[in-house]
A and B are shown apart, each in its own frame.
Chain A
Amino acid sequence: MHLTWIDYAIIGIYFAFVLGIGFVLKRGARTSEDFFLSGRSIPAWVAGLAFISANLGAQEVIGMGASGAKYGIATSHFYWIGAIPAMVFVGLFMMPYYYGSRARSVPEYLKLRFDEKTRGLNAISFAAMTVFSSGVSMYAMGKLLQLLLGWDFTVSVLLSAGIVLVYTYLGGLTSAIYNEVLQFFLIVAGFVPLVIVGLIDVGGWDGLTARLATEAVSRGFEPGAMTTSWAPLASPANNPMGVEWFGLVMGLGFVLSFGYWCTDFLVVQRAMAADSMNAARRTPLIAAVPKMLFPALVILPGMIAVAVAPRVEIGFAGAGAAAQYRDGAVAQAGPAVPLVRTSLIPPKVDETTGEPIVDADGRVALDYDLAIPMMLQHYFPTGLLGLGLCALLASFMSGMAGNTTAFNTVWTYDIYQSYIRPGAPDSHYLAMGRAATVFGIGTSVAAAFVAREFNNIMDLLQLVFAFVNAPLFATFMLGMFWKRATGHGAFTGLLAGTLAAAAHHGLTLPAGAVAGVKGGFLGQVLFTYPSEMAQNFWTAIVAWTTCFLVTVLVSVFTHPRRDEELSGLVYSLTPKPSDRGQPWHRQPGPLAIGVLGLTLVLNVIFW
């Protein structure tokens, strides 16, 4: 991929704007509430776009493109089942307690509703998780830029981290949110031309369906397996994801999705910064509209990448044997390696030998994560290529800023102010917030370098965090809708749920995997799942159920809090928020119905 002056100019202008917004907003951040919660002054549509943009990290864009190439349109389940219903639920039913309780963070809500130890558990695991996941996505980005453009890993990591640091340090959450809105529009602007030109090339949706039917058949599925979303879910053997509908709906659609959208402070913080209860409730509903349309921008390019053959003459940074394979050139290796590539997806290359990796069946493993970058290289002339890279950088930076602002708030309010230094003047916490921004980004950068050296450590950490997150939604659901739930119940439920997740993972394996990070590490494999995704969904279901049951059981035998203490925190003890006097398009109820109706239509169209 070769860049010219105009690509660098576009990227440079983007950097200048992002930094400029930080400098302009610096004087707005005078108190800790300004810095951590934007002084609760953000209009609903801005909070909504930031809500979606903070979630739209580079891993989302790259990963969903990769899944589109691997699984086809069924990837849209991560949006239409795995996001929209949960976003509607958090807006309609949970925001009244998050926003109404005046909690400044999600862990702080747990403190108000339950007790100190539940908050501590959640705050510490969340803070550690955001820093590490930010590091992992930084590593992925650095590696990608190195591969595509030959940019030095250290330089691209430090440069992008440095820019995010400057604007979040100066303007706090407001600066992060405003930049997320800007980044949202840039991501759309970068991907819309890609989808349009790609669709024209393959002959529209009908042409794509025809081409992917051939692909699906060659992988041993029905012709429609990659272009229909629900029909192939009758059995895990019928679809490339290897899941059936019940595991998908319960595991992804209920446990994982509600656990993320309803409890993850990274997104909830954007709604908490809204300027009124009405705006806070509309934030996730407004965000749901672009979210449901995003499959067109991130999944479709991945699907098109499978259906399009590469041109031989286009070069690739990263010289040597690897480049030869990527160009579709003739390879000199053994008979197992295909001689000419039929799709834009390049083979996975062993980093030390430069040879393509061949799986157990003798087929070349494909590097699906390169689907979107290969699409950019294939279709974009210089100029637009700069804009496309800007879109990737923007998605990376918005995700990282989201992690940073969530981390510095939880660190300062829930850990520092609670356990290390309570009762200091507000200016002290503002300064601590800025210091935590530096510390958080610094630790993420360190984690990115650790990830480069020891990939396994990061896999292990992500696995541990998945165990910790899986049961969370049961705790919040019981906390908000059952006034009898107690702090002891919540705490033991969370611990039991995490242990249950670890135990389930340790006793099961996806088909074809060896015991280790993929599961089965407890020495005995009780059940083998058809795919890793199916295993993950069921781990989540087991964790949620355990947490739910243990919380209920322990709560029944421990002392509940008095009703008066729970007003504003629990459904039955809180007056319903009224939207009287608002026009219908500003009322959460009608908005939610519209969003759900549209999602249903999309599901039916691609059934």
Chain B
Amino acid sequence: MDIRVPVSLLFAVLGALLAGFGLTTASSPMYERHSLGINLNLWSGLGMLAFAGVLFWLARRGARVQAAGSDREQTSRPSRREAGVG
């Protein structure tokens, strides 16, 4: 398992939840009272979604590189055996 996948999944779920909650409560006085009028839920949610996206992309790229690497290894193995190394 590539740990980047579950981490990006968790951040996507929590980010969507927070951003959605931030949108629906955008006019709530709690932002005035707590966070200087900044909709912290919305912005943090969006930030988490962006991070989830980047991490998921990195995981996908990592998986592709690994797949390509093992392909190369498989094709190169017979040739090494022919050369008497394996």
Contacts and interface: CB of A to CB of B under 8 A. Distances in A.
A binds B: yes
A13 interface: yes
Contacts of A9: 17
A190 to B, nearest CB: 9
Interface stretch (B1-9, B67-75, B77-85): B1-9
A182 B35 contact: no
Interface stretch (A216-224, A380-388, A582-590): A380-388
Given A25-B1, A182-B3, A379-B34, A197 B40 contact: yes
B1 to A, nearest CB: 6
Interface residues of A, number: 32
Contact of B40 (A10, A189, A193): A193
B46 to A, nearest CB: 11
Q: Which of B22, B25, B40, B48 has the most CB of A within 10 A?
A: B40
A185 B11 contact: yes
B31 interface: yes
Contacts of B47: 189, 192-193
Given A9-B17, A197-B35, A381 B3 contact: no
Interface in A1-56: 6, 9-10, 13-14, 17, 20-21, 24-25, 46
B34 A381 contact: yes
Interface string B12-33: 0110011001100100101101
B41 A20 contact: no
Contact of A46 (B3, B6, B17): B3
Interface string B40-83: 11011001100100000000000000000000000000000000
A192 B11 CA distance: 14
A182 B44 contact: no
B17 A182 contact: no
Interface of A: 6, 9-10, 13-14, 17, 20-21, 24-25, 46, 178, 181-182, 185-186, 189, 192-193, 197, 200-201, 311, 313, 378-384, 387
Interface of B: 1, 3, 6-7, 9-11, 13-14, 17-18, 21-22, 25, 28, 30-31, 33-36, 38, 40-41, 43-44, 47-48, 51
15 contacts: A6-B21, A17-B9, A25-B1, A181-B3, A185-B11, A189-B44, A200-B38, A201-B36, A379-B34, A379-B40, A381-B40, A383-B18, A384-B35, A384-B41, A387-B18
Given A182-B3, A381-B40, 20 more contacts: A6-B21, A9-B17, A10-B14, A10-B18, A13-B14, A14-B10, A20-B6, A21-B6, A25-B1, A178-B1, A185-B51, A189-B44, A193-B44, A193-B47, A197-B38, A379-B35, A381-B31, A383-B21, A384-B40, A387-B44
